[in-house]
Each structure stands twice: as C-alpha cells, then as structure tokens.
C-alpha cells in the first residue's frame, strides 16, 4: 500500500514552528516509504482565510524543501461535504441542536459543580417535530452535531502513544456544522481523508480526543480509518511554549539567518530518543525517521540550540549552495576560508570586507610598529605566505606564540581573531598585505 500523508493548515496566518514540525514529520513519513505527501488548505472559514496566507504556506514549504505532490482546497470541496452530510442525516448520525454558546457554558459549569464530566447532555435528541417547527418559526436555525455511538468503546493503536481506549459516552457529540451552514473542522477533515486516500495521519497530541470521535465518522461513512499517530507538543526551555517562540514562522527564521537545513535537522528529531545533530543530508534524516523513537514527554524547542545547529550547518555548506547569497567577487576559495568562522551565511559579507578593505587597526606602540616594518621586509610571497612570514619573523625577532601572531593578524585584518591566516592571507593578496604592513608600521 502506498503511504499517503497530508499537512492541513488553515490560511488564517503564517506557519509557526509547531506547524512546520508537523509538516516535516508527515513529509518524512511519506518520503521514507516512497509515498506521497499532500497539502490540504483548510479554508472553509471564509471570514478569516486570506489568499496571501495560502501563498505564504506554499512558499514556506518550498523554502523548507517540503513541496507536496498534490494540493486540495476545502473551499472547492463543499459539494463533497454536502453529499456526505446528507448520508449521515439519512442514517440518523447527525442531529439538530439550538443551544447558544452561553447556554452550553452554563451547562458545563453545572456539570462540573455536580462532579460530572463537562460534556454535552444530548438534550437536543429529545426535541420533537413540534419543537423544531417552533424554533424554525422563531427564525432560529440549528447547528448540527454528530451522534456518537455509545454502545462500543473506541479503540485504536496509536503509532506514538500505543493502545488507546475511549468511552464514547464520556465525549461530547461534536458540532460539525454551524447554524449558518458553514463547516467546522471535524467532519470535512474525515471526508477529505477518505477522498484523498490518506493512509496515515500524524498530528499533535491535542487532537487525540478528536481522533476518537473521527474514528466513528469514518465508520459511519463506510470507510476504513487511516493509521493515527499523535506526537507530543512543543514547549520552550522553561515549560510552555512562549508566545514569542510559538509564533516563530519561516519569515522570522529567514530574518535571523537560519538555514532551512538547520531547522529541519532540529525539528526532525525533536521529541525523539535520537540525538539532535547538525545533519544537512536530508536523505540521512529520512532514512532514520522512526515513530517508535517518539517520546510522550513534551518536546523542548530551544532557539539557542537552533542557532548552534545553524552555525554547524553553515560550516558544511558547499560553495555552490550559497554562491548566490555571497558578496560580489567572493569565490569558492574565499568561502572555504571564511565559512568556518560564520554563524550565518550573511555574516560572510563582514569577513569579505576584511579581505577587500579598508580595515581599521588598533593603536600600536613603537616596538610593534618596528615589528611590522620587519614583517614588510621579510614578507616573501609563496604558496604559503603566512607560514613563510611567521617563520622568518620568529627567527629574526625571537617572538613566538601570541606576541608573534596576534599583532600580525591585527595589522593585516584589523581583528583579534578570525579565519585561519594560512587561508586568509592569500585572499588579501600580496599588494594589499604589504600596504597594510606599511600602514601599521607608520601609524
């Protein structure tokens, strides 16, 4: 059987880090099995859905390298939902109800006060035809609930959480359609999963009780349910995911200079027993993907860890991968020399300015200026000008270690630290290197 997964965001905002993790894991699950990863835009909420967010979702997935093999939009599938709804009406699995949000809230509070579970009491099932007619005459339209079957417990083997058991009588009959005829999440999602041939649904553990109700919807529509897996939710370093971290989206990561490979490497294994490592090879991450390694404890998202991973990933990136983002004139040799000192690709411009100049050097004392004059005299351009220069200066001046290397680096780069001078000095070039030594000696 071909594995088919889906990612189903609502276009009411941009993707945040939790959405990205869900999309990634669904993509990896499909990739590992040679299956299909599909995108479903859940845009039935016409008042809040915006086309710019649809475009943003597509662009974000593309930036992450998670491009789907197909796309569906719920707003184009309303006839499909209507037909399935009529079938459920005919079989008595949906019913009309009229309680307002305030009335339902009062019922929940009364139930809690009596020590009972705050679930819907099914009062609407006792309404007669006359009651419905009276509501209709008063201009009150019903909302619709799916009628759960209380006769059998709800069971499934969750690919992350293991064996699951729910008593349907302890769940509220879910509202599936509003009084204005618009759809809520639960039923259209099931209809889409059936029609799209979804074999595996991987989502957050906050959907566990939804799954219990949706399993009965699959059965009521005569379909075999997909496999379900519910992963632990993300939290921050100090517990609950902060609003700042929870709202982090692809645009924010890009602004920080985060590479998609770093974000993927972190989120691929976050919440699993596998170590989070700076693995830029997407195929290696996919081959090791295993739902059996997912834990039940909340997955801790640490932005500092992401920055460390990003630095390590940048050090692995080949020149061809970053060439279009580098300063003009910076070639492969320059990238190889500079990248070990970068946390972000964009930082390359700062180090390239050290190569191209001008630079600003600290104030040197007379003895150090004389040292630079000697350096200028001894500089012999070769295949390793730095090695030749430092060896000659060590022999001529007796300097070694920090007293030898630090002032030379300062005179040639204006920095106290940085890329390996063996690689950096050839980029600066002989003419400019001599000019910088002369200038340092004169200052």
DSSP state of 416: S
Residue 199 contacts residue 18 (beta carbons within 8 Å): no
The model's pTM is 0.90
- Secondary structure class of 71 (helix, strand, coil): strand
299-300/234-236 β-pairing: parallel
Q: Which burial class, exposed, middle or buried, applies to 98 when counting CB atoms under 10 A from its CB (0-12, 13-18, 19+)? A: middle
Please provide the CATH number assigned to the domain covering 357-442: 1.10.10.350
CATH (one of 3.90.800.10, 3.50.50.60, 2.40.240.20, 1.10.357.10) for 80-177: 3.90.800.10
| Cα 81 from Cα 189, distance rounded (Å) | 10
**Nearest to 36, CA basis, from 80, 63, 71:** 71
Annotation-wise, does 300 bind a ligand?
Answer: no
Residue 70 is predicted with a pLDDT of: 97
CATH class of the region 1-71+232-316: alpha beta
Going residue by residue through the chain, which has 443 residues, state the pLDDT in tens, using 9 for 90 and above: 799 999 999 999 888 888 999 999 999 999 999 999 999 999 998 889 999 999 999 999 999 999 999 999 999 999 999 999 999 999 999 999 999 999 999 999 999 999 988 999 999 999 999 999 999 999 999 999 999 999 989 999 999 999 999 999 999 999 999 999 999 999 999 999 999 999 999 999 999 999 999 999 999 999 999 999 999 998 877 666 655 555 578 888 998 999 999 999 999 999 999 999 999 999 999 999 999 999 999 888 988 999 999 999 999 999 999 999 999 999 999 999 999 999 999 999 999 999 999 999 999 999 999 999 999 999 999 899 999 999 999 999 999 999 999 999 999 999 999 999 999 999 999 999 999 999 999 97
What confidence score (pLDDT) does residue 245 get? Answer: 54
The three-point CA angle 79-220-82 to 5° equals 10
Q: What DSSP string runs through 7-30?
A: E---TTS--BHHHHHHHHHHHHHH
Q: What is the residue extent of each domain of the chain?
A: 1-71+232-316, 80-177, 319-355, 357-442
Confidence (pLDDT) at 398: 94
Distance between CA atoms of 163 and 317, rounded to whole angstroms?
A: 43
Question: 390 in helix, strand or coil?
Answer: helix
Give the burial class of 207: count Cβ atoms within 10 A of its Cβ; 0-12 exposed, 13-18 middle, 19 or more buried.
middle
Do residues 45 and 188 make contact, with C-beta atoms less than 8 angstroms apart? Answer: no
CB 28 within 8 A of CB 291: no
Enumerate residues 6+ apart whose C-beta is below 8 A from 182: 44, 45, 46
């Amino acid at each position: 059987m071909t594995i088919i997964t889906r990612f189903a965001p609502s276009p009411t905002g941009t993707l945040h880090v939790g959405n990205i993790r869900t999309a990634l894991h669904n993509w990896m699950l499909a990739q590992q099995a040679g299956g299909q990863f599909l995108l479903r835009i859940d845009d039935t909420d016409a008042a809040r859905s915006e086309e710019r967010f649809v475009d943003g979702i597509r662009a974000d997935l593309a930036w992450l390298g998670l491009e789907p093999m197909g796309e569906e939009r719920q707003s184009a599938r309303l006839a499909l939902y209507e037909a399935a709804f009529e079938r459920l009406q005919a079989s008595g699995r949906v019913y009309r109800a009229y309680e307002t949000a305030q009335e339902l809230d009062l019922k929940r509070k009364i139930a809690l006060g009596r020590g009972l579970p705050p679930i819907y009491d099914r009062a609407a099932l006792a309404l007669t035809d006359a009651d419905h007619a009276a509501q209709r005459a008063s201009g009150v339209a019903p909302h619709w609930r799916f009628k759960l079957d209380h006769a059998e417990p709800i069971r499934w083997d969750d690919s992350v959480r293991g064996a699951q058991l729910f008593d349907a009588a302890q769940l509220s009959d879910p509202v599936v359609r509003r009084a204005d005829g618009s759809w809520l999440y639960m039923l259209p999602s099931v209809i889409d999963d059936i029609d799209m041939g979804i074999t595996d649904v991987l989502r957050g553990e906050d959907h566990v009780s939804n799954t219990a109700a949706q399993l009965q919807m699959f059965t009521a529509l005569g379909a075999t349910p997909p496999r379900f897996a519910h992963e632990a939710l993300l939290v921050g370093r100090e517990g609950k995911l902060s609003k700042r971290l929870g709202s982090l989206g692809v645009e924010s990561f890009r602004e920080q200079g985060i590479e998609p490979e770093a974000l993927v490497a972190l989120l691929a294994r976050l919440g699993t027993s596998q170590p989070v490592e700076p693995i830029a090879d997407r195929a290696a991450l996919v081959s090791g993907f295993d739902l059996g390694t997912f834990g039940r404890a909340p997955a801790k998202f640490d932005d500092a860890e992401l920055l460390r991973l990003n630095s390590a990933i940048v050090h692995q990136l080949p020149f061809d991968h970053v060439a279009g983002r580098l300063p003009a004139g910076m070639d492969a040799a320059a990238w190889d020399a500079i990248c070990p000192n970068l946390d972000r690709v964009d930082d390359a411009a700062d180090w390239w300015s050290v190569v191209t100049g001008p630079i600003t050097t600290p104030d040197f004392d007379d003895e150090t200026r004389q040292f630079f004059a000697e350096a200028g005299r001894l500089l012999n351009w070769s295949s390793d000008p730095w090695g030749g220069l430092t060896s000659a200066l060590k022999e001529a001046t007796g300097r070694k270690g920090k007293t030898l290397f630090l002032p030379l680096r300062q005179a040639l780069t204006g920095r106290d630290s940085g890329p390996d001078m063996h690689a950096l000095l050839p980029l600066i070039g002989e003419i400019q290197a001599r000019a910088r030594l002369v200038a340092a000696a004169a200052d």
